Structure 1
Amino acid sequence: MQRSRFVFLAAPTPAHQPGGPADRIVWMLVSPNNRPLGRGAVYHDIYARCRESVLDLQANVDRIVALEGTVPASGHWSWRIELDDMAVALSSRSYLRARECTYNLERFLEALPLAEVVPGTRDVRRDRRRAPEPPPPSGGTLGGQPYRPARLMYESPARRDLRQRDAG
């Protein structure tokens, strides 16, 4: 029986410019049917560091903090996982409804501890016509300008329970 697995992708960083730095490595957790469950929040220079970040995440699964919230610009729901106050994983897409976001976060958390770590990387090329994605919410610069990530609004578990009770 196939199970969820971490795959490693060599991809241009979101701030990639032609003639700029080489591709960097990011991980993605996929389900047994190849559906993306989530991805790493940080791009790594080498495969070994990216793999190490996955193993560290799996070893510290009991210490992670899961946050759900909306992106103010779009109103769409998204989630992220933090370890020691640093974003380590992000939803692979945004969701129109809070319950879809919660459901997909739960699938990620279920798969995380037992997922297989696949060796090697896969080359990924984005469609150059699309606007680049913003960098992960770990700070830094984008084109020399300070990067300010979209802030997720925290929803306490008690409030989420009330919302789910009212919706159901």
Structure 2
Amino acid sequence: MVPARFLYVMLGARQRPVGEVPRFGWRLVGANHRELGRSAQVFGDPGECRAAVVRLRERVGDARTLLTVADAAGGGGWAWRLEIEGRPVAVAGRTYQRQRDCQFNLGQFLQVVPVAELAEQAPARQRVRPGGDPGTRAAV
């Protein structure tokens, strides 16, 4: 089975206007490939994103956790947020119908952060070459 790991993701790649600087974030996924949490901030490059993960791993014991109830008009549900020195660093990737489910998933996130795989270097962005098949990729 694949262990839990941090993934670096480029945000809004399809909607980003030409020439706009890409933004990156991270996601923590469990061994079952389900998202356990994600970055609360966006970063200018994968290196900054990785550095934020390293800081999170170092300081997760100092983190303050907050459970919130989403606006009922927006569908409601419970969510969690992790703060270090008053700044949000991680959030739930989804809302939960029950408070206990939200608390359980926050606990899972906190347990996995220190042991999840952390790539040494974020992979190069890739795209399919025009006219090429999905197996043909070029670094961007």
Shift of 1:120: 2.1
Paired AA for residue 106 in structure 1 = G
Unaligned segments of structure 2, at least 5 residues: 127-140
Distance 1:122 1:90 in 2: 25
Residues 7 and 30 in structure 1, CA contact (< 8 A), matched pair in contact too:
yes
Distance 2:41 2:64 in 1: 17
How many residue pairs are counted as aligned between the two chains? 122
Give runs of aligned pairs for residues 5-154 of structure 1, distance below 5 A. 5-12=5-12, 18-19=17-18, 21-72=20-71, 73=73, 74-118=75-119, 119-121=121-123
TM-score, with structure 2 as normaliser: 0.78
TM-score, with structure 1 as normaliser: 0.66
Could you say what secondary structure the match of 2:118 adopts? strand
Does 1 or 2 have the higher relative contact order (CA < 8 Å, sep 6+)? 1
Residues 22 and 45 in structure 2, CA contact (< 8 A), matched pair in contact too:
no
Deviation beyond 3 Å, 4+ runs, structure 1: 121-124
Distance 2:66 2:125 in 1: 30
Residues 9 and 123 in structure 1, CA contact (< 8 A), matched pair in contact too:
no
